[in-house]
Amino acid sequence: MLTGFFEDLKPIERAVDSVNELRSRSELDVYILTALSTRNIHSYSEKRFWVEKHFDYEFTEKLIICSNKGLLKGSYLIDDYINGKGQENFEGQLIHFGGTRYPNWDAVMEYFMKQV
């Protein structure tokens, strides 16, 4: 079984700073929602370690690991896929990261600065 894959992933450019900026806004309650990898049993713990490594321990309490993102409730879901893990059934607004409208974190943050 491959170990270290998820824990060693490099953050996307500006992702950590952007998420921390969103976290600092009192009107937002930011969570990390990630799908699990059933093919790699280490994904559960490694994703949790990754959050603590790149953010802080407190943010690990805002980590949700779920195979169907459509089961969760929220106003926004920033995701690099628009379907496949239930994103298409998410009740809030799906922000397609890496797509035409939101190709990077600068575009995502520009949107959020206008919305909230």
CB 91 within 8 A of CB 112: no
**Band of the pLDDT at 33, cuts 50, 70, 90?**
very high
**Band of the pLDDT at 2, cuts 50, 70, 90?**
confident
Tell me how far apart the alpha carbons of residues 113 and 7 are, in angstroms, rounded to a whole number: 30
Task: Give which of 45, 108, 116 is closest to 77, Cα–Cα.
Answer: 108
The CATH number of the structural domain formed by 15-115 is: 3.40.50.1000
What is the arithmetic mean of pLDDT over 26-45?
94
The percent of residues in the chain predicted with pLDDT above 70, rounded, is 98
**Band of the pLDDT at 1, cuts 50, 70, 90?**
low
**Band of the pLDDT at 78, cuts 50, 70, 90?**
very high
pTM: 0.91
> CA–CA distance from 36 to each of 78, 112, 116 (Å)?
16, 27, 30
Tell me how far apart the alpha carbons of residues 25 and 86 are, in angstroms, rounded to a whole number: 27
